[in-house]
């Protein structure tokens, strides 16, 4: 006689020659409890989330600004729309909204120094940050990085503030793709090439 055992919902089941026999209360699923999730525990868990590194830039009446971001993605292809998350508690990020435009510059593996420079960790002033790369403009006037894997030049169409961050929604009005190079990835609090 052939016997297979398997879990079936809250019960334990055995199959004897094709017939299923349930044995109640022999197997119970663990009860998951909610716990308080502090900021450090959340950041530690998110460090395991691998993300592509970008530099988001703007220029206009409110001034020039650039910042390194991981939190950026596509929203739609009709019309082409992307989103970028920025720390809204940093007043230096206000030009992105006031200028009404931004460019998302997707970095290649050899552009780590650029990412570090725009991260704010080095304390470089704006002009020194931009001196780390070769820039031009496509359609909106936001600085676009020559040599980036991809550039999405956007008109700001909406924003949403949530907790510590502001989500920028941009309609892509200009696009450029670079050479097929290896992307720069951030994972486990360090840079990696894919």
Give residue-wise pLDDT tens across range 77-100.
999 999 999 999 999 999 999 999
Could you tell me the residue ranges of all domains in the chain?
51-188
Distance separating the N- and C-terminal Cα atoms of the chain: 52
pTM: 0.79
**For 101, which DSSP code?**
E
Average pLDDT, whole number, for the chain? 86
- Quote the CATH superfamily of domain 51-188: Electron Transport, Fmn-binding Protein; Chain A (2.30.110.10)
Q: How confident is the model at residue 165 (pLDDT cuts 50, 70, 90)?
A: very high
**For 134, which DSSP code?**
-
Q: Select the more confidently predicted residue: 21 or 190.
A: 190
Closest CA to 93 of 58, 123, 121: 58
**For 149, which DSSP code?**
S
**For 183, which DSSP code?**
B
Instruction: Return the percentage of the chain with pLDDT > 70, whole number.
Output: 83
Q: Do the Cβ atoms of 78 and 70 come closer than 8 Å?
A: no
In the chain, the DSSP E strands lie at: 3-8, 11-16, 19-23, 51-52, 54-58, 65-69, 72-77, 80-87, 101-106, 135-136, 144-145, 150-162, 165-177, 184-187, 190-193
User: Looking at residue 8, what is its pLDDT?
Assistant: 42
- What's the average model confidence in pLDDT over 172-182? 92
Give residue-wise pLDDT tens across range 38-65.
888 878 787 777 789 999 999 999 999 9
């Amino acid at each position: 006689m052939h016997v297979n055992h398997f879990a079936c919902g809250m019960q334990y089941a055995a199959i004897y020659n094709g017939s299923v026999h349930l044995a109640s209360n022999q197997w119970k699923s663990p009860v998951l409890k909610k716990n308080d999730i502090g900021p450090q525990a959340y950041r530690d868990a998110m460090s395991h989330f691998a993300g592509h590194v970008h530099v988001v830039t703007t220029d206009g009446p409110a001034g020039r600004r650039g910042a390194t971001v991981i939190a950026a993605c596509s929203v739609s292809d009709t019309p082409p729309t992307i989103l970028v998350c920025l720390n809204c508690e940093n007043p230096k990020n206000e030009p992105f909204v006031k200028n009404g435009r931004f460019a998302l510059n997707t970095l290649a593996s050899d552009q780590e120094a650029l990412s570090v420079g725009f991260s704010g960790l080095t304390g470089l002033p704006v002009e020194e940050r931009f001196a780390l790369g070769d820039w031009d403009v496509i359609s909106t006037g936001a600085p676009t990085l020559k040599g980036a894997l991809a550039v999405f030049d956007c008109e700001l169409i909406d924003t949403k503030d949530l907790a510590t961050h502001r989500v920028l929604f941009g309609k892509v009005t200009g696009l450029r793709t670079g050479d097929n190079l290896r992307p720069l990835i951030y994972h486990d609090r360090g840079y990696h090439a894919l």
